[in-house]
Amino acid sequence: MLSRVAESMFWMSRYIERAENTARFLDVNFHLLLDLDKITDVDSRSYWEPLIMVTDDRDRFLSLHNEFTAAAVSDFLVFNRNNPNSIFSCIALARENARSIIETIASEMWEQINRLYHFLNTADHDILQTDPYNFYQVIKNGSHLFQGITDATFSRGVAWDFVQAGRYLERADNTSRLVDVKYHLLANSSTKDEVDPVDNIQWMAVLKSCSALEAFRKVYLSRIEPETVMQYLVLDQYFPRSIYFCVQMLQEALWHISGSRQREFATNADRLVGKLEAELNYTTIEDIYQQGLHSWLEELQKKLARIGDQVYESYFSYHTFSDGEDVALGPQRQTLSPGRVSRAVWSQSDSSQQQQQQ
């Protein structure tokens, strides 16, 4: 397989997953505010700033807006073309990657992603205030339909493994950021002896943001507590959006690509993901709290970023030799701080694709 094709598969999958995650937590926030409208101030900055913190775009947002209002945050995360992590930007880039490998993917895959792009491109921005529920449903269902079509029509070869690797690397990173931000906003106000109805609703919203509430209820029958929520979203090995499950699936996909197996690693990416999977397998929630949840999740995000870097080095980058020097001919990537690498690393081709959509 050409490295160009593999990279487009990988990033197409990541962008679709990123758009869906953004639509999901915006939709959950909309319903959360409906639930809290009678008992707290839903126009408070505290309900909108965390959405920007989850996507790690605070500096970019403040360069465009002065306040964390519902309209500003919603437009920035959905339609803003200057935000590379907005839903529109992600779908546009996923579509461009799909277009570049249209001969490789199923025609149904292209039709679905193209349909979703044109829906966003022609949508009235006022819909975020007039009918946000149906708008976010279209985005989430469109993403689910694309993934379902991919599952049903795409051959289980190397290209499929790159799709899986992109999906689960992105999903693990998104879950870790959501957990990190929301835990520190809520944990300090929760107590063992008193149930705060506002906190309880917000913890339910955290689970809903990962589509985990019903599944969580089947495992933990008692009232929702920060420790059990963290246990489920971070270390559960069966829930498909937990960090541990995503790392397991990422390892499986990368090992299929390279042919690695236990204790025999073909690439550095395989070694790093195998190491991370082993760490998570033997980690308890008490170990995480002892280190500090924020510190532990920050380190996890750096490890996921390093895995992404090594996937790039192993499969998407190539060099030729000229006068004894390495000359990189593959896509060059922007240097970002370690905390942002896994969300906002763009190749040169990605940047040009964004400019074309503008």
pLDDT of residue 261: 79
pLDDT attached to residue 318? 65
Q: How far is CA 266 from CA 114, 261, 273, 311, in A?
A: 37, 8, 12, 12
Report which secondary-structure segment, H or E, holds 310.
helix 293-311
Give the whole-angstrom CA distance, residue 346 versus residue 328: 16
Q: Which 3 state secondary structure label does DSSP give 260?
A: coil
Distance CA 318, CA 5 (A): 14
Give the pLDDT confidence score for residue 345 in this predicted structure: 37
The CA–CA distances, whole Å, from 310 to 17, 280, 318, 331, 336 equal: 20, 20, 13, 14, 15
Q: Report the distance separating Cα 153 and Cα 170, nearest Å.
A: 22
Among the listed residues 45, 54, 62, 50, the one whose alpha carbon sits nearest the alpha carbon of residue 21 = 54
Cα separation, 50 vs 235, whole angstroms = 23
Question: What pLDDT is recorded for position 29?
Answer: 85
User: Within a 10 A sphere around the Cβ of 307, how many other Cβ atoms?
Assistant: 26
Instruction: State whether residue 253 is helix, strand or coil.
Output: helix
User: Residue 196: helix, strand or coil by DSSP?
Assistant: coil
CA proximity to 114, closest of 137, 148, 145: 145
| pLDDT of the residue at 344 | 38
Reading the chain (358 residues) residue by residue, the pLDDT tens digits are 789 999 999 999 999 999 999 999 899 888 877 766 654 555 667 778 888 988 889 999 999 998 898 889 999 999 999 999 999 999 999 999 999 999 999 999 999 999 999 999 999 999 998 899 999 999 999 999 999 999 999 999 999 999 999 999 999 999 999 988 877 666 655 444 444 666 777 888 889 989 999 999 999 987 788 889 999 999 999 999 999 999 999 999 999 999 887 778 889 999 999 999 999 999 999 999 999 998 999 999 999 999 999 999 999 986 444 444 443 333 333 323 333 333 333 343 444 444 444 4
Q: Are 290 and 278 in contact (CB under 8 A)?
A: no
Q: What pLDDT is recorded for position 349?
A: 42
DSSP 69-85: -HHHHHHHHHT-TT-TT
Q: What pLDDT, on a 0 to 100 scale, did the predictor assign at position 201? A: 79
For position 121, what pLDDT does the model report? 95
